[in-house]
């Protein structure tokens, strides 16, 4: 397993919740270093796996795995919002399970020049797919004050969003802001509380989520996933911050409901039927031991659900 690329989180629990069955077809929506993919393939030699990642580095790292598992495994460079299209191109209409291990990999954080981390001074980039046009530098140097404030608030839930956005506008009037170090220093100066590191983490997270369209991709991929699951098929999602986890939780709760009519109606007229059964009433969280072994597990939450038979 390629632990130098990324050490997988909740490996055992993901496999358990996927409930792999003989001859099943599975999807790993977020291949990364392939830790989960390999564990899925090794758990049952009769299953087929389609894996996705939008990052070229992940696709490169997967070449060896592709050779090892041959026709049982296909790795596709794509946003996971396009899973259905790619499966259809491969004549696959239904699958038996899908795993999302959201966010970025350790490799992406550790590659300094990708600009994901405020711990290194590097160009402001943060694109998961480096073929896409908009980078963090475009956001910081060209977006309006209003837009910056909104991004910091909506995707970072940062209280100092106003002051940070104002300071960015002031600084860039003098000269462009080109590095993570410069941006980090601006955030530190603008933050009044002693929680400067937290503020940096939240602003970097906000920019990353915005430029990679992470929440829109998740919403649409969850809808598609439930549509293409076979009855008894499983969906397993590992998230690393509250914005993602809230989306997954609300989506599962909505899908599990049989009726979404306003309260007080005598008869249901919405026609909504329950499509899934939630398997994790509360999300799975890491043990102290897991966090000690793998610090990335710190904020992880796993939620899982099973598709219902729909008549």
Ligand X SMILES: C[S@@+](CC[C@H](N)C(=O)[O-])C[C@H]1O[C@@H](n2cnc3c(N)ncnc32)[C@H](O)[C@@H]1O
Interface residue list for ligand X (CB under 6 A) = 6, 8, 30, 32-36, 52-55, 58, 79-80, 101, 103-105, 128, 217
Task: State the Cα angle at 233 between 51 and 79, rounded to 5°.
Answer: 30
Specify burial of residue 92 (Cβ count, 10 A radius: 0-12, 13-18, 19+).
middle
In the complex with ligand X, which residue's Cβ is closer, 6 or 171?
A: 6
CB 71 within 8 A of CB 45: no
Task: Provide CB contacts within 8 A for 193, sequence distance 6+.
Answer: 160, 199
Measured distance CA(301)–CA(9) in Å, rounded: 10
What is the nearest approach in angstroms of ligand X to the Cβ of residue 108? 6
Extract the tokens encoding 141. Answer: 């140097």
Minimum CB separation from ligand X for residue 68, in Å? 15
Minimum Å gap between C-beta 37 and ligand X is 7
**If we measure between CA atoms, which residue out of 135, 104, 132 comes closest to residue 122?**
135
Q: Measured from the CB atom, is 87 or 104 closer to ligand X?
A: 104
CB of 125 to ligand X, least distance (A): 13
Strand-pair category, 48-53 with 73-77? parallel
**Minimum distance of ligand X from residue 9's CB (angstroms):** 7
Give the residue carrying structure tokens 């939450």.
301
d(CA 253, CA 276): 9
User: Considering only CA atoms, which of 195, 202, 60, 211 is closest in space to residue 137?
Assistant: 211
Residue 20 or 217 having the CB closest to ligand X: 217
Q: CB-wise, 83 or 161, nearer to ligand X?
A: 83
Q: How far is the CB of 15 from ligand X (least distance, A)?
A: 12
Nearer to ligand X by C-beta: 36 or 48? Answer: 36
Closer CB to ligand X, 58 or 190, in the complex: 58
């Amino acid at each position: 397993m390629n632990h130098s690329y990324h050490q997988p989180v909740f490996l055992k629990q993901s496999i358990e919740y996927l409930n792999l069955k003989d001859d099943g077809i599975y999807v790993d929506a977020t291949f990364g270093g392939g830790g989960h993919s390999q564990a899925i393939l090794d758990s049952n030699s009769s299953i087929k796996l389609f894996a996705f990642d939008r990052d070229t580095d992940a696709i490169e790292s997967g070449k060896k795995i592709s050779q090892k598992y041959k026709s049982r495994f296909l790795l596709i460079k794509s946003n996971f919002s396009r899973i259905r299209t790619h499966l259809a191109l491969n004549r696959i209409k239904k699958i038996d399970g899908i795993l999302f291990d959201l966010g970025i990999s350790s490799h992406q954080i550790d590659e300094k020049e990708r600009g994901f981390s405020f711990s290194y001074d590097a160009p402001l980039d943060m694109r998961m797919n480096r073929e896409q046009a908009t980078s963090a530098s475009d956001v910081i140097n060209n977006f309006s004050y209003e837009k910056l404030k909104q991004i910091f608030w909506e995707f970072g839930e940062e209280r100092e969003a106003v002051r940070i956005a104002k300071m960015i506008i002031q600084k860039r009037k003098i000269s462009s802001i080109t590095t993570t170090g410069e941006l980090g220093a601006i955030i530190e100066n603008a933050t009044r509380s002693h929680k400067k590191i937290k503020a940096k983490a939240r602003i970097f997270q906000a920019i990353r989520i915005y430029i990679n369209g992470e929440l829109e991709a998740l919403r649409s991929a969850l809808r598609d996933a439930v549509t293409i699951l076979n009855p008894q098929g499983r969906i397993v999602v590992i998230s690393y911050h509250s914005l993602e986890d809230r989306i997954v939780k609300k989506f599962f709760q909505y899908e599990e409901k049989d009726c979404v009519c306003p309260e007080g109606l005598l008869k249901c007229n919405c026609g909504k039927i329950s499509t899934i059964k939630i398997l994790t009433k509360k999300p799975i969280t890491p043990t102290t031991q897991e966090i000690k072994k793998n610090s990335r597990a710190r904020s992880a939450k796993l939620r899982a659900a099973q598709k219902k038979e729909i008549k």
